[in-house]
């Protein structure tokens, strides 16, 4: 029996249902194996001295239980202090210091064999310190922004490099991200590419006309899914709509850019063709993606976005930027287009896909190998191998 302690600062909760949903789905797939036991420690940062109670962004988090059963898995939610403005540099130390006593208590009844850190920063450096303390191997997974963003922040890059060099093994969601990690100075021989999975029964083509009708839409539809932050580039898609008359754009997600995007939609006179849906539960995404003629995402950075794979599994082609593992997915014209990160390029790519109307079964076939069963089998082999090597 392999006992896995999953450490992830990205994990869904009642306060943030979609936050790190891909980590939970991977964890559930791993835990479904008869030869694995999993417990999750999902720490989150809060300002010190109770200041979080006065900040709306933290109130709901502070009301979360410190321990709960979520979808059959025991999840612990310790709170580690952070200091706004400098927290990025001290978060690994603060996280590790907070979590260490909790892991000591967990270990009395659950002698975990390995620590599986599911986000490279701040989880990775903390996990390495905890692995050394408890004498177990550590794996760290890179997903995209944890490498691309945090390695560019003062005081964080060196911590990422040290953690990667000290970890027993590492995972990357795409070959492109693995190359970026090697360029950063991490040992390539210890980095394994570990693509995401998708529930192929849930994410499957539905009759497009019926799915559109349920949304009250008649005509070409483009869907974008992602947090409303500059990194995702939703404003570029809004601008692209000015060159695509008769096309509707629906954006699902929440975030600090909502008001600004709403103003941009209004100023462009696109209120009748561009909608901001807010955050949707994961179970609602298959119907939305099946309704779309195209899924578009203008990200500045990605590892390998789950929504890319989910859209293709629904038979919907994608128009995306040349980031992360984009070229590892869009290898056939039916899968979509990789375009420059400009409104003009997105308008052109979307127009091409709308005109071509690729067969949904062919689009879906491009991600036939992306399953959670395949993902969990590879993760088990990786973690079990680290344990065996340490022994």
Backbone angles phi, psi at 191, to 5 degrees: -110, 120
> Could you tell me the pTM of the whole model?
0.88
Backbone angles phi, psi at 250, to 5 degrees: -120, 125
List, run by run, the mean pLDDT of 10-residue segments along the chain (391 residues): 96 81 92 96 80 63 86 94 76 94 96 96 97 97 88 90 97 94 96 94 94 92 94 96 96 92 95 92 93 96 92 98 94 96 97 96 96 95 96 80
Structure tokens at 19: 């936050």
- Fold of the 2-197+371-390 domain: Rossmann fold (3.40.50)
Domains 2-197+371-390 and 208-365 are alike in CATH topology? yes
Structure tokens at 330: 């869009």
Cβ-count burial of 272 within 10 angstroms (0-12 exposed, 13-18 middle, 19+ buried)?
exposed
As a three-state string, the secondary structure of the chain is CEEEEEECCCCCCCCCCCCCHHHHHHHHHHHCCCCEEEEEECCEEECCCCHHHHCHHHHHHHCCCCEEEECCEEEECCEEECCCCCHHHHHHHHHHHHHHHHHHHHHHHCCCCEEEECCCCCHHHHHHHHHHHHCCCEEEEECCHHHHCHHHCCCCHHHHHHHHHHCCEEEECCHHHHHHHHHHCCCHHHEEECCCCCCCCCCCCCCHHHHHHHHCCCCCEEEEECCCCHHHCHHHHHHHHCCCCCCEEEEECCCCCHHHHHHHHHHCCCCCCEEEEECCCHHHHHHHHHHCCEEEECCCCCCCCHHHHHHHHCCCCEEEECCCCHHHHCCCHHHEEEECCCHHHHHHHHHHHHHHCCCHHHHHHCCCCCCHHHHHHHHHHHHHHHHHHHC
Distance, in Å, from the CA atom of 328 to the CA atom of 373, rounded to the nearest integer, reads 20
In CATH terms, the superfamily for domain 208-365 is Glycogen Phosphorylase B; (3.40.50.2000)
Nearest Cα neighbor of 116 from 186, 174, 41, 175 is 41
Per-residue confidence (pLDDT) for residue 321, from 0 to 100: 97
Backbone angles phi, psi at 382, to 5 degrees: -65, -50
Backbone angles phi, psi at 121, to 5 degrees: -145, 125
Domain ranges of the chain: 2-197+371-390, 208-365
Per-residue confidence (pLDDT) for residue 83, from 0 to 100: 78
Return all residues near 179 (Cβ < 8 A) that are at least 6 apart: none
């Amino acid at each position: 029996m392999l006992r896995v302690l999953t450490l992830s600062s990205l994990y869904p909760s009642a306060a943030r249902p979609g936050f790190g949903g891909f980590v939970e789905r991977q964890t559930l797939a791993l835990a479904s194996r008869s030869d694995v036991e999993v417990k999750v420690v999902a720490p989150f940062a809060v300002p010190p001295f109770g200041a979080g109670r006065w900040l709306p962004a933290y109130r709901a988090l502070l009301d979360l239980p410190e321990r709960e059963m979520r979808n059959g898995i025991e999840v612990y939610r310790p709170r580690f202090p952070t200091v706004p403005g400098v927290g990025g540099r001290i978060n690994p130390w603060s996280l590790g210091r907070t979590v260490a006593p909790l892991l000591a208590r967990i270990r009395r009844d659950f002698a975990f064999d390995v620590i599986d850190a599911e986000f490279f920063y701040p989880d990775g450096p903390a996990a390495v310190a905890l692995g050394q303390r408890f004498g177990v191997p550590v794996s760290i997974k890179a997903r995209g922004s944890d490498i691309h963003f945090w390695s560019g922040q003062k005081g964080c890059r060196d911590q990422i490099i040290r953690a990667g060099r000290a970890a027993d093994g590492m995972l990357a969601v795409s070959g492109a991200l693995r190359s970026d990690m090697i360029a950063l100075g991490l040992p390539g021989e210890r980095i394994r590419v570990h693509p995401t999975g998708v529930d192929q029964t849930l994410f499957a083509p539905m009759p497009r006309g019926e799915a559109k009708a349920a949304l009250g839409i008649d005509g070409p539809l483009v869907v974008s899914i992602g947090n409303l932050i500059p990194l995702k580039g939703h404003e570029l898609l809004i601008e692209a709509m000015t060159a695509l008359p008769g096309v509707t754009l629906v954006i699902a997600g929440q975030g600090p850019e909502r008001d600004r995007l709403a103003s941009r939609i209004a100023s462009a006179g696109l209120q009748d063709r561009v909608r901001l849906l807010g955050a949707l539960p994961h179970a609602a995404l298959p119907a939305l993606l099946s309704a779309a003629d195209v899924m578009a995402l203008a990200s500045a950075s990605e590892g390998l976005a789950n929504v890319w794979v989910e859209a293709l599994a629904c038979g919907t082609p994608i128009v995306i930027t040349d980031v992360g593992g984009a070229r590892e997915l869009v290898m056939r014209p039916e899968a979509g287009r990789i375009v420059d990160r400009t409104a003009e390029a997105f308008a052109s790519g979307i127009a091409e896909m709308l005109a071509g109307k690729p067969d949904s079964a062919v689009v879906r076939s491009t991600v036939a190998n992306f399953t959670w069963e395949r993902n969990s089998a590879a993760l088990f082999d990786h973690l079990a191998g680290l344990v065996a090597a340490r022994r």
